[in-house]
Structure 1
């Protein structure tokens, strides 16, 4: 009887999905920024706004974790998952801050390709997170995790090519330094996505 009166599960899955939605919105704004579509400052401000919302959802998950008696899966996994998801949005914001700091206003084909890869990666994170409330979807989740890891590898290869192109073709040392930094932060987004996929894989393996 006591167990039935204690708080259960709460809105964890709803909050995971809400956070993932902010992540994808931010990734779309970043891709538009790199494509040179619309007002750059509007895209940067939109990214900042999504980061604030995502951070609020992260805090809500942590607060819910403290007051919930029975959680859908291990408490540490919930904490690590939402923290890893929040790292993705923070990394997207880091790119926006970097291009502002370095006054970058034009982007190479490599940068645009990386931005599109990060968007694809974030969309798959959103998809895999949406399946967490039903372990019957375990095969789909594991397949999506592999796709995320593949995209991370693709982005890493594009980053290495981009930096190589910079050193071979660009004569302005300061520009090389600034753009190299932007490329590295862009690639970090997919690294963070891969971290989420690892947490999801762990949750699935412990639950099925």
Structure 2
């Protein structure tokens, strides 16, 4: 099909990748709350995920700066990229604070919130995969 607007799929691929990293982080937090014994190892894994999220965010911003016609408004692409990265940063901060303050066994409410967050990231991954196919 002919279109005057070039199709730029790379943004959607990067967003989908970013949501998958976010989902891995959310499940790692959930696992950290359910199995508090290995929290130091999980903190290291979360740090790696945070670096991966930063790299994806940098790639999106770099691509945004080099693309003339974007599939979404520039401001929206920038906001989505930074917000997805911010959530991974918050997940990392949560695990770091659990270690720093030696929170011990988490409450049932904290475990439920982590479960809900993990479920939400599943839906976020699905949404961005559908957006990529659009």
Q: Is the shorter-chain TM-score for this pair beyond 0.5, marking a shared fold?
A: yes
- Are residue 60 (structure 1) and residue 59 (structure 2) matched? yes
SS at match of 1:103: coil
Distance 2:121 2:88 in 1: 9
**Structure ranking higher on relative contact order (CA contacts 8 Å, 6+ apart):** 2
Displacement of 1:105 after TM fit?
2.5
Q: Which runs of 5+ in 2 are unaligned?
A: none
CA contact (8 A) 2:19 2:125 kept: yes
CA contact (8 A) 2:57 2:85 kept: yes
TM-score (norm 2): 0.88
* 1:57-96 equivalent positions in 2, closer than 5 A: 57-96=56-95
- Are residue 30 (structure 1) and residue 29 (structure 2) matched? yes
CA contact (8 A) 1:58 1:83 kept: yes
> 1:203 is matched with which residue?
none
Distance 1:94 1:54 in 2: 14
Displacement of 1:90 after TM fit?
1.1
> 2:13 is matched with which residue?
14
CA contact (8 A) 1:8 1:68 kept: no
RMSD across aligned C-alpha pairs, in angstroms?
1.8
> 1:149 is matched with which residue?
none
> 2:111 is matched with which residue?
112
The Cα offsets for residues 178-206 of structure 1, whole Å up to 9 and x where unpaired, read as xxxxxxxxxxxxxxxxxxxxxxxxxxxxx
Distance 1:124 1:38 in 2: 29
| Structure number, greater radius of gyration | 1
CA contact (8 A) 1:20 1:125 kept: yes
> 1:39 is matched with which residue?
38
- Are residue 51 (structure 1) and residue 70 (structure 2) matched? no
Aligned residues: 130
CA contact (8 A) 1:29 1:43 kept: yes
Distance 1:10 1:65 in 2: 12
Distance 1:21 1:10 in 2: 17
* 1:120-199 equivalent positions in 2, closer than 5 A: 120-135=119-134
Q: Closer, same or farther in 2 for the Cα pair 1:13/1:76, shift >3 Å?
A: same
